[in-house]
């Protein structure tokens, strides 16, 4: 099956610094990846859609200058949290979209998530 | 806009008894619906999906769900709970535009008592 990895799995950074999270599709190519944020005991909130070779599409209320997304290749998307603050502490999850049957149906495969703690 | 409502934040069952996790959806047109499971420290795993074929969908690990358009429901069931089923379950609806974005419900935590 399709495997998506994330690195790092956990990261602690100081307030004001930036941190980069990588999302990789290991055995397939993904033109579209998604970034989600999950607060403790809460659901997943879609932050942005990452398209290979073009700018990411951000959901309403998500600061594009704070959460920089780069999808430079068909197997890698990165999320950089810039000038992190304690309120950015959260669980960040990526997914990669795979199409089947000549593009008629899609499925998303999720990474294991990255726990970010900003002190 | 599409949305899903998971009616129970927590469900507790005894091992060996049936499981019912409830989900209602709101959609302007025929939706694609999914159930995902999230175990602690593990990625989300797809249990099953409905994409306008058979209304009774069978998934992995003995789970199944029935799409009922008249009730706008997509409840998840399993005849007999196992301790390993304890996890967070998410009902999800997919946008039918070209983005195919997933919209997650609030989640239901399933507890399985010995």
What residues are paired with B112 via a beta bridge?
A: B13
pLDDT (tens digit per residue) in B22-78: 999 998 777 889 999 999 877 899 999 998 778 899 999 999 999 999 999 999 999
Report chain B's C-alpha Rg in angstroms: 14
CB contacts, 8 Å: A107 with chain B: 46, 49
Residue B36 contacts residue B90 (beta carbons within 8 Å): yes
| pLDDT tens-place string over residues B11-21 | 999 999 999 99
Mapped to the 3 state alphabet, what secondary structure does chain A carry?
Answer: CCCEEEECCEEEECCCCCEEEEEEECCCCCCEEEEEEECCCCCEEEEEEEECCCCCEECCCCCCCCEEEEEEECCEEEEEECCCCHHHCEEEEEEEEEEEHHHCEEEEEECCCEEEEEC
- With CB atoms and an 8 Å threshold, state whether B99 touches A105: no
Of B43, B51, B107, the CB nearest to A110: B43
A 70-109 near B (Cβ less than 8 A): 93, 95, 97, 105-108
Predicted confidence (pLDDT) at residue B96 exceeds the cutoff of 80: no
Comparing A71-75, A105-109, B33-37, B66-70, the range with the smallest average pLDDT is: A105-109
**Taking a C-beta distance cutoff of 8 angstroms, is the pair B89, B37 a contact?**
yes
Q: Are A69 and A35 in contact (CB under 8 A)?
A: yes
The pLDDT-based confidence of B99 (bands split at 50, 70, 90) is low
The two beta strands, A114-118 and A10-13, are parallel
pLDDT of amino acid B13? 98
- CA atoms within 13 Å, Cβ hemisphere of B87: 19
With a pLDDT cut of 90, the percent of chain A lying above it is 70
Quickly state the pLDDT bin for B2 (edges 50, 70, 90): confident
Structure letter (DSSP) for residue B31: P
Taking contacts as CB-CB distances below 8 angstroms, the residues of chain B near A110 are 36, 43-45
């Amino acid at each position: 099956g399709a495997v998506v990895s994330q690195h790092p799995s956990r990261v602690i950074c100081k307030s004001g610094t930036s941190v980069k999270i990588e999302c990789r599709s290991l055995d397939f190519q993904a033109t579209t990846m998604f970034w989600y944020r999950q607060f403790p005991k809460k659901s997943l909130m879609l932050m942005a859609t990452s398209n290979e070779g073009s700018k990411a599409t951000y959901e309403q209320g998500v600061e594009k200058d704070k959460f920089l997304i780069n999808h430079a290749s068909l197997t890698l998307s990165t999320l950089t949290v810039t000038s992190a603050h304690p309120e950015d502490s959260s669980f960040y999850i990526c997914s990669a979209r795979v199409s089947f049957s000549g593009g008629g149906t899609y499925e998303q495969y999720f990474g294991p998530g990255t726990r970010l703690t900003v002190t | 806009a599409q949305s899903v409502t998971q009616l129970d934040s927590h469900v507790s069952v005894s091992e060996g008894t049936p499981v019912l996790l409830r989900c209602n959806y709101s959609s302007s047109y025929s939706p694609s619906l999914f159930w995902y499971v999230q175990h602690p420290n593990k990625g989300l795993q797809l249990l099953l999906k409905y994409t306008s074929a058979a209304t009774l969908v069978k998934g992995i690990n003995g789970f199944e769900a029935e799409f009922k358009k008249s009730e706008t429901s997509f409840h998840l069931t399993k005849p007999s709970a196992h301790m390993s089923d304890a996890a967070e379950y998410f009902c999800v609806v997919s946008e039918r535009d070209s983005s195919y974005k997933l919209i997650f419900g609030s989640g239901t935590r399933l507890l399985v008592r010995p």
